[in-house]
Structure 1
Amino acid sequence: MALRRALHFVFKIGDRAKTATFYRDVLGMKVGVSKVKFLKEKSTVLRVCHMFVHFLYPCSPYDGRWSKTMVGFGPEDDHFVVELTYNYGVGEYTLGNDFRVCKVRLNLLKKVKVLCDCVLVSLQGITLQSSKAVSNARRLGWPLTQVAEALYLIPAPGGYPFYLVDKEEPSSDPVQKVCLGVSDLQRSTHYWTTLLGMKIMEKNEEKNTILLGFDDTQCKLELHDVGGPVDHATAFGRIAFSCPKEQLPELEALIKKENHKILTPLVSLDTPGKATVEVVILADPDGHEICFVGDEAFRELSAMDPKGSDLLDKAMAEDKSDEWFAKHNRQKATA
Structure 2
Amino acid sequence: MASLSVTLNLLRPCSIAPKPSPSLRFCDVRNSASSYCSTSRRLALFHLGSALPQSQILGAKASQLLRGEGKPIDAAPIADLAQAGAAIAQEDALEWVKNDKRRMLHVVYRVGDLDKTIKFYTECLGMKLLRKRDIPEEQYSNAFLGYGPEDSNFTVELTYNYGVDKYDIGTGFGHFGIAVEDVAKTVELIKAKGGKVTREPGPANGGSTIIALIEDPDGYPFELLEKWPTPEPFSQVMLRVGDLDRAINFYTKAFGMELLRTRDNPEYKYTVAMLGYGTEDNSPVLELTYNYGITDYDKGNGYAQIAIGTDDVYKSAEAVRLSGGKIILEPGPLPGINTKITACLDPDGWKSVFVDNIDFLKELE
Q: Do Structure 1 and Structure 2 share a fold, with TM-score over 0.5?
A: yes
Is 1:30 paired with 2:128? yes
C-alpha separation in 1, matches of 2:118 and 2:197: 18
String of CA shifts for 1:304-334, please: whole Å, max 9, x gaps.
Answer: xxxxxxxxxxxxxxxxxxxxxxxxxxxxxxx
Q: Which of 273, 283, 287 lines up with 2:345 in the alignment? A: 283
- Distance change (3 Å), C-alpha of 1:243 and 1:132: farther
> d(CA) in 2 for partners of 1:261 and 1:231?
19
TM-aligned CA deviation for residue 88 of structure 1: 1.1
The residue type paired with residue 215 of structure 1 is G
| Map of 1:147 onto structure 2 | 200
For 1:135 and 1:17, locate their aligned partners in 2 and report how far apart those are by CA, in whole Å.
Answer: 22
Distance in 2 (CA, whole Å) between partners of 1:166 and 1:210 is 20
Matched, 1:162 2:236: no
In structure 2, how many angstroms separate the alpha carbons of the residues matched to 1:139 and 1:280? 43
1:175 aligns with 2:249: no
Task: Give the aligned partner of residue 7 of structure 1.
Answer: 105
If asked which structure has higher relative contact order (CA below 8 Å, sep 6+), I would say: 1
Deviation at 1:255, TM superposition (A): 2.8
Q: Given the alignment of the two structures, is residue 300 of structure 1 paired with residue 359 of structure 2, yes or no?
A: no
Q: Could you tell me which amino acid in structure 1 is paired with residue 331 of structure 2?
A: L
Label 1:145 to 1:230 Cα distance change in 2 as closer, same or farther (>3 A): closer
Secondary structure at the counterpart of residue 360 of structure 2: helix
2:283 is aligned with 1:218:
yes
Q: In structure 2, what residue type is equivalent to 1:285? A: P
Query: In the superposition, relative to structure 1, how do residues 230 and 143 fare at CA in structure 2: closer, same or farther (>3 Å)?
Result: closer
The alignment's TM-score, normalised by the length of structure 1, stands at 0.69
C-alpha distance 148-218 of structure 1, shift in aligned 2 (>3 A): closer
Cα offsets for 1:137-187 (capped at 9, x unmatched): 2332333344342543322122112233433222x2112221111111111
- Work out the CA distance in 1 between the residues paired with 2:255 and 2:212: 34
Where 1:137 maps in the other structure, the secondary structure is helix
The 1:138/1:233 distance shift into structure 2, 3 A limit, reads closer
Structure 1 stretches of at least 4 aligned residues deviating more than 4 Å after TM superposition? none
Greater Rg by CA = 2
Match of 2:313 in 1: 248
Provide the identity percentage: 30
Q: What are the residue-to-residue correspondences of 1:1-335 with 2, within 5 Å?
A: 1-2=98-99, 3-39=101-137, 64-108=138-182, 130=183, 133-149=186-202, 151-170=211-230, 172-206=231-265, 207-216=270-279, 217-226=282-291, 227-244=294-311, 247-258=312-323, 260-269=325-334, 276-302=338-364
Q: How many Å separate the matches in 2 of 1:79 and 1:132?
A: 24
Normalising by structure 2, we get a TM-score of 0.64
1:89/1:251 Cα in 2 relative to 1: closer, same or farther (>3 Å)?
Answer: same
* Partner SS, residue 200 of structure 1: strand
Specify every segment of 5 or more residues in structure 2 that has no aligned partner in the other structure, as ranges.
Answer: 1-97, 203-209
Contact kept in structure 1, 2:177 and 2:222, CA below 8 Å: no
Structure 1 unaligned residues grouped into runs of 5+: 40-63, 109-129, 304-335
Paired residues of 2:178 and 2:233 also in contact (CA < 8 A): yes
